[in-house]
Amino acid sequence: MSLTELIADVENSEKTLVVHNADESTVDSVAERFADRNVNVTTASTESDPPDYVVLSEGERVLSATSLAEIVPDGGRSRTPGFDSEPYKLILDELDETLFTSYDGRQMLAASREIEDRAWRAGKGTLYAGFQRYSILERQLPVYEQLGTKPGLDVAAFAVPDAELSDHEETFDVHPERADEIRSTWFVAFDGGGDEESKCALLAEEREPRRFYGFWTYDPGTVDDVFDHLGETYLDGRSDERPAAGC
Residue 156 belongs to domain with CATH number:
3.30.870.10
Residues 206 and 168 in one domain: yes
Q: 108-159, pLDDT tens digit by residue?
A: 999 999 999 999 999 999 999 999 999 999 999 999 999 999 999 999 999 9
Mean pLDDT (the chain, rounded) = 84
| Residue 185 within any structural domain of the chain | yes
Q: What CA–CA distance (Å, rounded) separates 156 from 243?
A: 6
What order do you get walking across the sheet with 15-20 strand by strand?
A: 39-44, 15-20, 53-58, 61-67
The answer to the question of residue 76 being in a domain is no
User: Omega into 50 within 30° of 0, i.e. cis?
Assistant: yes
**Cα dist from 36 to 13, 55, 161, 225, 237, whole Å:** 15, 18, 31, 25, 36
120 in the same domain as 168 = yes
128 lies in which domain range?
A: 100-234
Domain match, 119 and 215 both: yes
**Same domain? 122 vs 66:** no
Give the largest Cα separation in the chain, rounded: 63
HSE-CB at 161 with a 13 A cutoff on CA atoms is 8
Q: Which amino acid makes up residue 172?
A: F
CB count within 10 Å of CB 155 equals: 25
Rounded Cα gap, residues 200 and 119, in angstroms: 9
- What is the DSSP pairing of strand 53-58 with strand 61-67? antiparallel
Q: How far apart are the C-alpha atoms of 222 and 7, rounded to whole Å?
A: 11
Task: Yes or no: say if 158 and 179 are a contact pair by the CB < 8 Å rule.
Answer: no
- On whether the CB atoms of residues 242 and 126 are closer than 8 A, the answer is yes
Domain count, the chain: 2
pLDDT band at residue 47, thresholds of 50, 70 and 90?
Answer: confident
Q: What phi and psi, each to the nearest 5 degrees, are found at residue 8?
A: -60, -35
Helix (H) / strand (E) containing 216: strand 211-217
pLDDT at residue 206 greater than cutoff 50? yes
CA distances 242 to 133, 152, 235, 238, Å, are 22, 11, 10, 7
Is the Cβ–Cβ distance between 214 and 221 less than 8 Å?
A: no
The predicted-structure confidence for 152-205, as pLDDT tens digits, reads as follows 999 999 999 999 999 999 999 999 999 999 999 999 999 999 999 999 999 999
78 within a domain of the structure (yes/no)? no
